[in-house]
A and B are shown apart, each in its own frame.
Chain A
Amino acid sequence: MKKVRPFSPNTADAPWLKSCLIAFAVLVVLVIVVLPFASVIVQAFSEGPSIYLTLLRSSDMQVAVLLSLKLAAIAVPLNAIFGILLVWGMTHTQLPCRRFIMALLDLPFSVSPVVVGLLFIMLLGKNAPLGGWLEEHGVQVIFAFPGLLLATIFVTLPFVARELLPLMEGQYRQEEEAARLLGAGWWRIFLKITLPEIKWGLLFSIILSLARALGEYGAVAVVSGNIRGKTNTLPLHIEALFNDYELTAANAAATLLALLGVITLTVRIVAELKKKRDSNEH
């Protein structure tokens, strides 16, 4: 195997440039990531660990955490299933409007989340025909759980499909055809060939959409109605606490969100390591 040469020989020639660049990168990370993060933790514990725990045990906080987890637990699997089905359909059939669908799928990425929230209000609010009809039948969508769920699903929609598309377009198709010739059913093909091929991509995209679902602010803020202890998700609750002059509580809530972020990051790193080992075995 050929040795891969470093991409830019310049840095290798000038060690001072290299160290300058590294120092700069470290500084940026320190100022932009580590410092705010540390200040959140310091402020959260500024009144002592027992107060910190009391704050986390307050009922509004628990409702907010539970609500965020619930939204993610429903939205993320739904998006995973939707993503797999969509990409499978697009790679296994000759859809004429493929490009159009892909462009549509990018919409949640390119449209501002606030606009997304407003769109839902325009569609499902009390004064819209559809929303009015639902309300007459006793279904409250906007300013209640279903609205929050719709907004969360919408903003996390593209993650899985976007990540899987290049994978499922890939080279394993011939193996699939072989399996089919050997008499395997579609479910068996999916489990034995498709899933192993896409599992890492699937896992990564699920992690990404999980992080987004838990942290989403804009779209959810518009359709939430901000009822404390009812429709305030964790990010919204942090804002409410901050506005209430409850700085310590706001920071405590922020540590929870940060913790969720760290967990997803860890899972991602572990998965990446496993993936490496996995592919080295082949």
Chain B
Amino acid sequence: MRKVAPESENSWKKTDYGPNKGVLAVDKEKVRISPKHNLLSTDFNMRIFPLFLLLCVAVFAGDLLNVSYDPTRELYKEFNQAFEAHWAAIGNGKIHVDQSHGGSGKQARAVIDGLAADVVTLALGRDVDAIAQYAKLIPPDWEGRLPNHNSPYTSTIVFLVRQGNPKGIKDWDDLLKPNVKVITPNPKTSGGACWNYLAAYEWGRRHGGETAAVEFLRQLFKHVPVLDSGARGATLTFTKRNIGDVLLAWENEAFLSLKENPKRGFEIVYPSLSILAEPSVSIVDKNVDKKGTRKAAEEYLNFLYSQTGQTIAAKNFYRPSRPELVPAEYLEKFKQMEMIDIRTFGGWEKAYKDHFAEGALYDQISKK
């Protein structure tokens, strides 16, 4: 017969509780120096300690770190290679650019908390403002240090719908039709979502004034089943997880979805009114001065405005700020439409205070 639990049985027998407590019941079997146990224990120490010492050293050294927002992964993958070649070509030797991506607000937060970015290329000026304001790593007058409000490329907000546009979505008011599910990321963490929100607000304001705009947004967010933290997350929710009928997306992100899902079939719908989304770039002054990388960081951003940089941006579906440098074939796809910009809302500082700050309009409308 098989023993059920030989070990516990044995040890139970060995243990003397009760009347014999305190009497040493020595199990000779165990005190005897068993060669097997000996082997295991020394083996253990021999194996772990050298490994531990060997792997204690870890060095992180990067040349340049670009902390960016969510949809720019493909853009900067291509651009970094071009820049690394350019930097060597103008006689500065080898350089490597590291990338970090995530929701724009989250990324700004990470830089504030110490992520050692040399340059930030974020979704909106407000996030650069936040770094200037809370961590003082960037001077407050950063905007204007580079052409076109520090935006080497711009984009806009469009609708991405499923093939054949089954719900017949043409403009902002169609988003409120019953049974239409709208996908947008969370304006608290995503820059793209802020642009979505502002474009929707302006459309509402033009169709009935400020009260109507607030009501329009309140209704709109009732149609949103999932609030992802970044634009790429929202895109994947819509394209890969097949949730929702319409995605409010960066134009570049919408084009990329068409390219990445040739078989699935999506269509871009241009609403009657949208917003000129201006992603902002800046060097992070305190970080580059500490690391001694100011020259490379400045050249990196200037190179974004060069013919190479502008063409790479256009190829990756961003509207170049200097289209005259870019071959026409890359520009055809950008449709012209009426666009407002952040100045309509009094600049980012005011827009943030009115809409996205703690307890501001977005918080009020998203309360159930």
Residue numbers of A with Cβ under 8 A of B are 1, 3-4, 70, 73-74, 77-78, 80, 121, 125-127, 131, 135, 140, 142-145, 170-172, 174-175, 177-179, 181-182, 191-193, 195-196, 199, 225-231, 240, 242-245, 279-280, 282
Question: Whose C-beta in chain B lies nearest to the C-beta of A192?
Answer: B33
Give the 3 A-B residue pairs with the shortest CB-CB distance, closest first: A126-B114, A125-B113, A279-B7
> Which of A170, A177, A242 meets B24, CB within 8 Å?
A177
**Given contacts A1-B1, A179-B31, are A74 and B114 in contact (CB under 8 A)?**
no
Residues of A within 8 A of B34 (CB): 196
Please report the C-alpha to C-alpha distance between residue A73 and residue B98 in the assembled complex, in whole angstroms: 26
Tell me the smallest distance from the CB of B257 to a CB of chain A, in Å. Answer: 9
Residues of A within 8 A of B91 (CB): none
Tell me the smallest distance from the CB of A39 to a CB of chain B, in Å. Answer: 14
Please report the C-alpha to C-alpha distance between residue A139 and residue B48 in the assembled complex, in whole angstroms: 27
Residues of B within 8 A of A280 (CB): 3, 6
In the complex, how many residues of chain B place their beta carbon closer than 8 angstroms to a beta carbon of chain A? Answer: 55
**Given contacts A174-B26, A225-B100, A243-B232, are A131 and B114 in contact (CB under 8 A)?**
yes
Of the candidate stretches B49-57, B303-311, B326-334, the one touching chain A is B49-57
Tell me the smallest distance from the CB of A248 to a CB of chain B, in Å. Answer: 13
Tell me the smallest distance from the CB of A206 to a CB of chain B, in Å. Answer: 9
Contact A178 B31 (CB under 8 A): yes
Please report the C-alpha to C-alpha distance between residue A127 and residue B40 in the assembled complex, in whole angstroms: 47
**Given contacts A1-B1, A70-B58, are A228 and B98 in contact (CB under 8 A)?**
yes
The A/B interface has a contact count, at CB < 8 Å, of 129
Contact B26 A243 (CB under 8 A): no
Residues of A within 8 A of B15 (CB): 171, 174
Question: Whose C-beta in chain B lies nearest to the C-beta of A222?
Answer: B110
Tell me the smallest distance from the CB of A270 to a CB of chain B, in Å. Answer: 14
Residues of B within 8 A of A228 (CB): 98-100
Residues of B within 8 A of A243 (CB): 70, 73, 101, 232-233, 236
**Given contacts A175-B27, A178-B24, are A135 and B7 in contact (CB under 8 A)?**
no
Residues of A within 8 A of B14 (CB): 171
Given contact pairs A143-B110, A145-B58, A227-B100, a sample of 20 additional A-B residue pairs in the complex whose CB atoms are under 8 Å apart: A70-B58, A126-B112, A126-B113, A140-B116, A143-B113, A143-B115, A175-B27, A178-B31, A179-B31, A191-B38, A199-B37, A199-B44, A226-B100, A227-B65, A227-B99, A242-B236, A243-B101, A244-B73, A279-B6, A282-B6
Question: Whose C-beta in chain B lies nearest to the C-beta of A195?
Answer: B41
Residues of A within 8 A of B113 (CB): 121, 125-127, 142-143
Contact A170 B31 (CB under 8 A): no
Contact B1 A199 (CB under 8 A): no
Tell me the smallest distance from the CB of B172 to a CB of chain A, in Å. Answer: 28
Please report the C-alpha to C-alpha distance between residue A231 and residue B98 in the assembled complex, in whole angstroms: 10
Residues of A within 8 A of B24 (CB): 174, 177-178, 181
Residues of A within 8 A of B42 (CB): 191
Q: Does B260 reach chain A (CB closer than 8 Å)? A: yes
Residues of B within 8 A of A3 (CB): 1
Residues of B within 8 A of A230 (CB): 60, 62, 98
Residues of A within 8 A of B40 (CB): 195-196, 199
- Within B1-40, which residues are at the interface with A (CB < 8 Å)? 1, 3-4, 6-7, 10-11, 14-16, 24-27, 29-31, 33-34, 37-38, 40
**Given contacts A77-B48, A227-B100, A229-B98, are A245 and B110 in contact (CB under 8 A)?**
no
Q: Does B82 reach chain A (CB closer than 8 Å)? A: no
Q: Does B135 reach chain A (CB closer than 8 Å)? A: yes
**Given contacts A143-B116, A196-B34, are A282 and B102 in contact (CB under 8 A)?**
no
Query: Can you report 9 A-B residue pairs in the complex whose CB atoms are below 8 A from each other?
Result: A127-B112, A127-B114, A170-B11, A178-B31, A181-B24, A199-B41, A230-B98, A243-B70, A243-B73
